[in-house]
A and B are shown apart, each in its own frame.
Chain A
Amino acid sequence: MTADTSLDEPAEATREASRADRPTNILIVGVGGQGVIMISKVLALLSQMHGAEVKQSEVHGMAKRGGVVFSHVRYGKKVWSPTIAKGEADVLIALEWAEGLRWLDFLRPGTGVFVSDTRKIVPPFACRNRKFGADRAYAKETPAEIVSRVGNGYVLDATGAAEDLGNTRAANTVLLGALSTTLEFPAEEWENVIDQFVPKGTQEVNREAFRYGRDWVEKARRDPAFGLSDANAYEAPVLLPGEVDVELEINETWCKGCDICVKLCPERCLALSEKHKATLKNPAACTGCRVCEWLCPDFAIRVKRTAAAEAAE
């Protein structure tokens, strides 16, 4: 018996040779509310129907906050560990582009299949560019680059497709359609299982979404140019490099010295003067986030671009 504990690594050659004996590893990643768990359930039920043993583990605590969600699904004759080790995922499904990148090194080098949506979900504050008015920081890698790096990459605008079908929420079913082409289960079974997990009344649109994903991959296999069409259409985020180009205008007549801006500035760059008026004691730390402007009850702070920055435009 080949014990798969993910701890005692079989040699590269034996690992490839025994694909039928070892469990299939599928890693699903995304952010809260996208349907990572739904995809896991579909996979788990399908493989159970085929008599496989399934283990699944997930982190979904951040879901409500739009945070990271991932789920490991492993199925096969015998599954020991519930998690997938780095470099061992046969398929990585990403419901959000940057999340896909984050997990890329879990993919089995050479043979791993990468299925991803091109949609960006940019966290509001976490990766904000520290420049006033600038785009927020986001993964710079373009889908085309990544497709060229992985064994097999299917990068499609699943959300856009689902939108066209009339229900954005069916984006994960589009990806399931794409995934279905790389696994051994018959298409009808996929559709029947998906029916059980999608909300009532959306079965039809989800069936269409599933077929869209399936057809998409088949077309992409025949025509590599088509396979890259969504990847090439992806608009990479514009990133401006670093310095802060904002200044604070503090209206001393209006300021009542309430201390709100001082204590709520995330960078702690303000202080109260002897006269009990807000002053910017550390201009270099200010990121132009505007929290002070929003929260000053007396409208005494204005965050504005420096004259130099205005002139540079």
Chain B
Amino acid sequence: MNEVATVAGAETGPFEIRDYLRLELMPHFMCPGCGHGIALRALLWAVHELGIEKDKLAVVSGIGCSGRVGAYIDANTFHTTHGRPLAFATGLKLARPDLTVVVISGDGDSLAIGGNHLIHACRRNLDMTLLMLNNEVYGMTGGQVSPTTSEHRLTTTTPTGNVEPVFDACRLAAASGASFVGREVTLQAPALKNLVKKAIAHNGFSFVEVMSDCTEIYGRKNDLGESPEMILSQKADMRPEAFGNVADQPFRPHRLATGVFAELDRPEYGAVYRAQPAFRKG
């Protein structure tokens, strides 16, 4: 059984983002052109279309720019420690299975500091959704190299260019057992919304990699153009030739596949956990 608190068959009406924001905190803290805003919009849009009540939505986030994203959502939000949002979310979901739990985390938060939590959350397959906002860099702490920084990119800790290979987070999540795995770029906002909708509705652990961009810290250092150029070159095959001032190189040199990579029907951890004899005796 899918535990998304949807109003059965309800037509949810036009999406008005202001209904889902903590207006007193707006405008948000993110830099001009930061893709995280588009990702946040896609999440709220998906929540709206699924008809999830705000009181039944819990957003857990870690540290980093991505960690701050959750704070603007007018729902139950939980800003936790670096790399550990999945651990907090696991406890929350087990205690309150009636909530729809969404975790917002970054590439560094999920893959480096929280790498261990990630693989075990995937393995357990507890019903929640992880949005990993991948902007290839630690933006908030000043632009250090992350596990997804593309080859040869300059960061404050790779002054002569990054020499480490890039982590393919979707393959990692799928191999670790996540029962729903998908990736989308923020440029395709409606497709991203649809992917997030599917991920939230999926019963089990859903991993969504959102290809975002960091214009101020990463784009500028690497001469990748301004926000419009970066958002248009989130994939190497999406080069914007139309603008005169295109950077010499696309933001992401890789040809990225997008869409749903895994959608499996595996036992959901919460249900399995509650079915234990000890739990039933209570």
A-side residues, CB < 8 A to B, are: 253-254, 256-260, 262-264, 294-300
Contact = CB atoms under 8 A, between A and B. Distances in A.
A101 to B, nearest CB: 28
Nearest to B188: A294
Given A258-B215, A295-B189, A297-B30, A264 B231 contact: yes
Contact of B190 (A257, A294, A296): A294
A297 B34 contact: yes
Contacts of B37: 296-299
Interface stretch (B1-9, B20-28, B113-121, B261-269): B20-28
A83 B227 CA distance: 48
16 contacts: A253-B27, A256-B33, A258-B215, A258-B226, A258-B228, A259-B226, A260-B227, A260-B231, A263-B243, A297-B33, A297-B36, A297-B227, A298-B27, A298-B30, A298-B32, A298-B37
A313 B208 CA distance: 40
B35 A299 contact: no
A254 B21 CA distance: 13
A297 B215 CA distance: 12
B232 interface: yes
A264 B33 contact: no
B189 A258 contact: no
Interface residues of B, number: 27
Given A264-B232, A297-B35, A258 B26 contact: no
B2 to A, nearest CB: 24
A122 to B, nearest CB: 15
B33 A299 contact: no
Given A295-B38, A297-B37, A259 B227 contact: yes
B38 A263 contact: no
B260 interface: no
Contacts of A297: 30, 32-38, 41, 227
Contacts of A296: 37-38
A141 B224 CA distance: 49
B38 A294 contact: yes
Contact of B228 (A254, A262, A299): A262
Nearest to A253: B27
A296 B38 CA distance: 7
B140 interface: no
Pairs A-B, 7 closest by C-beta atoms: A297-B37, A258-B33, A263-B228, A256-B32, A294-B189, A258-B32, A254-B27
Interface in B160-196: 186-187, 189-190
Interface in B9-64: 17-18, 21, 26-28, 30-38, 41
B17 A259 contact: no
A299 B17 contact: yes
Contact of A254 (B26, B35, B186, B231): B26
Contacts of A264: 228, 231-232
Interface string B221-265: 000001110011000000000010000000000000000000000
Nearest to B41: A299
A297 B214 CA distance: 12
Contacts of A260: 33, 227-228, 231
Contacts of A299: 17-18, 21, 26, 37, 41
Residue of B17, B18, B32, B36 with highest tally of chain A CB at under 10 A: B32
A275 to B, nearest CB: 13
A263 B26 CA distance: 24
A258 B190 CA distance: 20
A259 B219 CA distance: 15
Contacts of B36: 297
Nearest to B232: A264
Contacts of A298: 27-28, 30, 32, 37
Nearest to A255: B27
Nearest to B242: A263
A295 B26 CA distance: 17
Nearest to A291: B189
B173 to A, nearest CB: 25
B27 A256 contact: yes
A296 B232 CA distance: 13
Nearest to B240: A263
Contact of B41 (A253, A256, A262, A294): A294
Contacts of A262: 228
A279 B52 CA distance: 34
A262 B231 CA distance: 13
Contacts of B30: 297-298
B219 to A, nearest CB: 11
B228 A259 contact: yes
Contacts of B226: 258-259
Given A258-B32, A297-B32, A297-B41, 5 more contacts: A254-B27, A258-B227, A259-B227, A264-B228, A299-B17
Contacts of B228: 258-260, 262-264
A74 to B, nearest CB: 37
Contacts of B32: 256-258, 297-298
Contacts of A256: 27, 31-33
A256 B27 CA distance: 9
Contacts of B17: 299
